Amino acid sequence: MDSLSFWNRTLMEPMIIDIILVQESPNPSSELTSPAASGTEASTETVIERWMVQYEGQRLMAPQIGEATYKKMYRKSIILLRSVHAMLRLLPAYKAFRKLCSLKQNCDFVINYKVCSFSSPFSRAEEESMKKYSFVPIDIQPGRLSVSVIYREDLSDFNLDVLVSCPPQIITDYVERGNQILPPHFSDLTAGQVVCIRMFLHHRANPLGSPPLHRSPYEYSPSPTETYIHRNQNQRFPTHQKTTSDDLLSPPFSSSPSPSPPTYLSGGNTVQSRLRSETAPVSIPHPMMGRSPRFLSPNLSDPSRHSLPPLSPRNTRYDPSSHESSSGIRSMRRLDSLRAGESSSGPINVSPKVARDAKEDSGRFSSLLSSGSSPRVGFSRSSSRLSFQDDFGDCDFSCPFIVDDVDPPDSQASLNPDGTKSSEVSSQASSTAKKSQDAAVGILVHMLKTAPPLRQDSGYYTSQSSKIEFEGEVGAASEFFKPRKTSDALEELKVYKEMKDLLLSKSAARLVGKEKRWT
Amino acid sequence: MGSLTLQTSSDFSFRASAPKDIDLELFEITYVQCGDVELERKIDEKIDQFIDKVEKHPNKKNQICLSFYEVKNKQATWFSNKVERLHWEQWYINLNVTQNPKGHSGKSHLPKVEVNPGDTAAEARRARRTALECSLRDILFQIIRFVNEKRDHVPPIPNLDGVSFPYEITISRFCFWDGHVQENAPNWASYNAQLISKAFELVRFL
């Protein structure tokens, strides 16, 4: 309103009100811009509406105006003012003004106005794109008041709708929507952590299937993790693999020698127990990797070797190369069949022998552990046992020291008539059997030593000798952990036999001496 | 704007009331109302009557007549003491409400719009809506133009406690065409009844 004050002083001059559209981006079409536009680099001003109000006064003094005239002037002024008021709201600039008011901070244009008594005329091109309407002047003695408007009929050239087409919206249920994708307890995790967890679950369910996951939108289902595991159990190698999933593989799944979650690497037993219960996967160090390549799987050159656990050193020792390759292929086939349609619980048909072996033959698994990540082992344990059982079933193993079948401690205890001592020995034997295959040799030797005596009256001496032998056994047990050959064992057996004979002879001599004394 | 008054010996101004901007729900059009509650109530009643009539007699041509008059007290005779009404301005709006050819139960008869066969239904509706918006805006411009072109016939403001001249809204099946009453007027340019009623309000405002 302050800008209108100057016009009141000069009543005879027209009052021109320009409605200017100011856009931030420069308008390349300079023809349509007003010559009065500043044309700054950052903004473009365009007159979109121009109102001209002019009072054309008469030079001659008008006669005195009667009341009727005033009434008429009043009625006409009311009609004019209301018409202008209604017209303003029908013009395109008002629509832009309303958009500007509704989206204040998200519009790239501003509407300004300018009041002046003179203005530069529009160019011919501008006039062609504009419409003019002149209100019928009203007689206001001593002159008359005229109002006219020139406006742009179409503002689509300025793309005002595009600028306000994407108003900001507050997603009120953003957190809830995100929680719907993941299980509730995953709501606090980041996207990367979620992917890692998913990869973990996949590997846990299908450790042999190490290729990267196929990230499809269906993976982000709100179903619990169990169903996710079961769903992935039936997946073969996905044909479509995205590289992004490789990048999102969590460190625990890498074959690095460094231990990953330190809480899990508390010891070999702990690892083995975890394997048995198929808990969290760990990256286990590979102490046997540096020993000898012969202990590794013979299928190193096989591209699918990464899906198979390496064979145990025992098996590699006695398997011919040709047989190893064939066994590897057969095991791979079996593993594929197992992976295809079986659940995470393991193979369907597990013989008691295999089950028993799986329960006790942890020595093999330690080697398996050392050569790969645990998730593979955890799943492949029984399956590999099954495959190995079949592979070696046809072979003729005459050497008794190949531990394919390790009798349970109960069977060992049943052979020993000595109650307490045998139970102690059996427990010790069972503990040593778990550690290494060499301990099994010691057990066998011990079995021979604890065999029932040849004579019953030598029970005391046998107990004494067994005690001595037990003591000696403890010291010798350490020796049994060394790798031994069959010949060594036979020699040792001979030594023990000689010792036994010697002891028996001595005891017999004592008895004879006693009898002579009594007599 | 509506509060301009001229104090003279005789009060010839309407009761001041601030005009009210009304935004249409269907279109980006803003029109102005008088701002008088009583007047708006009466107009809404007439609109409802028209809608009811259209629902009872669909596909019938209808006409809404808005007439402004001044009361002339006729000299009372022995048999009549009528109050003569001198209509000084009448607005005739012919409405023909038809159903949407797509099956929608709308009451609007959209002007003919050239729709390409490849357009989807949504695009067709959008095109019809845009055309109707343009037509309505043109109608409103025309009303303003009519009001401004002829002002001399407006009678003096009666000394009444109101915001407008006396008026009358009639709904009939008959229509005036070429100045003559015709029963079946040609089916030209029919619009949504409610939208035209809003035009009534604009006319009354002016």
pLDDT digits (tens, 9 = 90+) for B105-143: 444 444 555 556 655 888 888 888 889 899 999 999 999
* pLDDT exceeds cutoff 90 at A435: no
* pLDDT exceeds cutoff 70 at B197: no
B79 to chain A, closest Cα gap in Å? 36
B58 to chain A, closest Cα gap in Å? 32
In the numeric block, which tokens belong to residue B64? 């809404």
Average pLDDT on B182-195 reads 43
* pLDDT for position B111: 55
Higher pLDDT, residue A127 or A271: A127
Higher pLDDT, residue A289 or B95: B95
Mutate which of B126, B151, B157 to test chain A, going by most A C-beta atoms within 10 A? B151
Q: What stretch of H or E contains A110?
A: strand A109-116
Which of A102-111, A160-169, A418-427: highest mean pLDDT? A102-111
In the numeric block, which tokens belong to residue B88? 């000084």
Helical ranges in A91-190 per DSSP H: 92-102, 124-128, 160-163, 174-181
* pLDDT exceeds cutoff 80 at A45: yes
* pLDDT exceeds cutoff 90 at A87: yes
A98 to chain B, closest Cα gap in Å? 10
d(CA A249, CA B1): 71
Contact call for B206 and A82, based on CB within 8 A: yes
- Residue A166 to residues A26, A33, A173: CA-CA distances in angstroms? 21, 26, 19
In the numeric block, which tokens belong to residue B173? 């099946």
Higher pLDDT, residue B140 or A264: B140
Q: Is B68 on the interface with A (CB under 8 A)?
A: no
- Residue A305 to residues A210, A214, A296, A311, A331: CA-CA distances in angstroms? 11, 21, 11, 11, 11
CB count, 10 Å around CB of B183?
Answer: 9
Contact call for A82 and B1, based on CB within 8 A: yes
| CB nearest B206 (choices: A83, A133, A138) | A83
A133 to chain B, closest Cα gap in Å? 9
Q: Is B39 on the interface with A (CB under 8 A)?
A: no
* pLDDT for position A439: 85
Average pLDDT on A139-157 reads 87
Which residues, 6 or more positions from A375, have their beta carbon under 8 angstroms from its beta carbon? A203, A204, A207, A253, A281
- Structure-token match 């206001």, residue found: A140
In the numeric block, which tokens belong to residue A446? 């011990």
Instruction: For residue B72, name the pLDDT band (cuts at 50, 70, 90).
Output: confident
* pLDDT for position B62: 84
Higher pLDDT, residue B47 or A162: B47
* pLDDT for position A499: 92
**Within the 84-143 window of chain B, which residues sit less than 8 Å (CB to CB) from chain A?**
137, 140-141
* pLDDT for position B86: 87
Does the structure's ipTM exceed the value 0.85? no
* Range with lowest mean pLDDT among A52-56, A89-93, A203-207, B66-70: A203-207
Contacts of B206 in chain A (CB under 8 A): 79, 82-83, 86
A81 to chain B, closest Cα gap in Å? 7
* pLDDT for position A414: 45
Contact call for B147 and A83, based on CB within 8 A: yes
Instruction: For residue A141, name the pLDDT band (cuts at 50, 70, 90).
Output: confident
Contact call for A71 and B147, based on CB within 8 A: no
- Residue B143 to residues A76, B75, B86, B133: CA-CA distances in angstroms? 16, 36, 22, 15
d(CA A199, CA A211): 10
Nearest to A214 by CA among A388, B95, A480, A206: A206
* pLDDT exceeds cutoff 90 at A144: no
Residue of A nearest to B9 (CA): A67
Contact call for B154 and A74, based on CB within 8 A: no
Q: Is B18 on the interface with A (CB under 8 A)?
A: no
Do the Cβ atoms of A330 and A394 come closer than 8 Å? no
Residue of A nearest to B139 (CA): A90
| CB nearest A78 (choices: B4, B32, B145) | B4
Average pLDDT on A379-405 reads 44
Contact call for A74 and B10, based on CB within 8 A: no
pLDDT in tens, B142-155: 999 999 888 888 88
| CB nearest B202 (choices: A74, A86, A138) | A86
Instruction: For residue A327, name the pLDDT band (cuts at 50, 70, 90).
Output: very low
Instruction: For residue A390, name the pLDDT band (cuts at 50, 70, 90).
Output: very low
Do the Cβ atoms of A377 and A409 come closer than 8 Å? no
Q: What stretch of H or E contains A86?
A: helix A67-90
* pLDDT exceeds cutoff 70 at A314: no
Do the Cβ atoms of A229 and A205 come closer than 8 Å? yes
Radius of gyration of chain B (CA): 20
Contacts of A87 in chain B (CB under 8 A): 141, 144
pLDDT in tens, A454-489: 665 544 444 455 555 555 555 555 555 556 788 989
* pLDDT for position A375: 41
Nearest to A375 by CA among A299, A259, A280, A303: A280
Contact call for A89 and B30, based on CB within 8 A: yes
* pLDDT exceeds cutoff 90 at B99: no
* pLDDT exceeds cutoff 70 at B182: no
3-state secondary structure of A418: coil
* pLDDT for position B84: 81
Contacts of A95 in chain B (CB under 8 A): 28
B12 to chain A, closest Cα gap in Å? 7
Higher pLDDT, residue A167 or A504: A504
* pLDDT for position B137: 92
3-state secondary structure of A267: coil
CB count, 10 Å around CB of A309?
Answer: 26
Contact call for A75 and B31, based on CB within 8 A: no
In the numeric block, which tokens belong to residue B159? 């000394």
d(CA A142, CA A59): 8
Which of A27-41, A271-285, B138-152: highest mean pLDDT? B138-152
In the numeric block, which tokens belong to residue A362? 């942890």
* pLDDT exceeds cutoff 50 at A237: no
Do the Cβ atoms of A18 and A116 come closer than 8 Å? yes
3-state secondary structure of A331: helix
B134 to chain A, closest Cα gap in Å? 11
* pLDDT for position A49: 93
* pLDDT for position A205: 54
For residues B106-142, one letter each, b for 16 or more C-beta atoms within 10 angstroms of the residue's C-beta and e for the rest, the string is ebbbbeeeeeeeeeeeeeebebbeebbbebbbebbbe
Mutate which of A67, A87, A90 to test chain B, going by most B C-beta atoms within 10 A? A90
pLDDT averaged over every residue in chain A: 61
d(CA A380, CA B152): 102
| CB nearest A90 (choices: B1, B13, B140) | B140
Instruction: Cis check for the bond before A142: say yes or no (omega within 30 of 0).
Output: yes
* pLDDT exceeds cutoff 80 at A96: yes
Per DSSP, chain B holds a count of helices (H) and strands (E) of 3, 7
* pLDDT exceeds cutoff 90 at A135: yes
Do the Cβ atoms of B132 and B192 come closer than 8 Å? yes
Q: Is B159 on the interface with A (CB under 8 A)?
A: no
d(CA A215, CA A217): 7
* Range with lowest mean pLDDT among A77-81, A326-330, B154-158: A326-330
Number of Cβ pairs < 8 A linking chain A and chain B:
74
Contact call for B19 and A82, based on CB within 8 A: yes
Q: Output the DSSP codes for A427-445.
A: HHHHHHHHH-HHHHHHHHH
* Range with lowest mean pLDDT among A114-128, A317-331, A436-450: A317-331
Nearest to A163 by CA among A111, A89, A87: A111
pTM comes to: 0.45
- Residue A65 to residues A11, A201, B133, B188: CA-CA distances in angstroms? 20, 97, 45, 47
Contact call for A94 and B141, based on CB within 8 A: no
Burial of A143 (0-12, 13-18, 19+ CB in 10 A): middle
Radius of gyration of chain A (CA): 49
A91 to chain B, closest Cα gap in Å? 9
Contact call for B140 and A85, based on CB within 8 A: no
Q: Is B42 on the interface with A (CB under 8 A)?
A: no
In the numeric block, which tokens belong to residue B65? 């007549």
Higher pLDDT, residue B47 or A234: B47
* pLDDT for position A352: 44
Nearest to A22 by CA among A4, A39, A3: A39
**Residues of chain B above pLDDT 70, percent:** 58
Contact call for A82 and B205, based on CB within 8 A: yes
Instruction: Cis check for the bond before B117: say yes or no (omega within 30 of 0).
Output: no
d(CA B151, CA A75): 8
Kindly give the pairing relationship between strand A143-152 and strand A15-23: unpaired
Average pLDDT on A21-44 reads 60
| CB nearest A75 (choices: B31, B149, B154) | B154
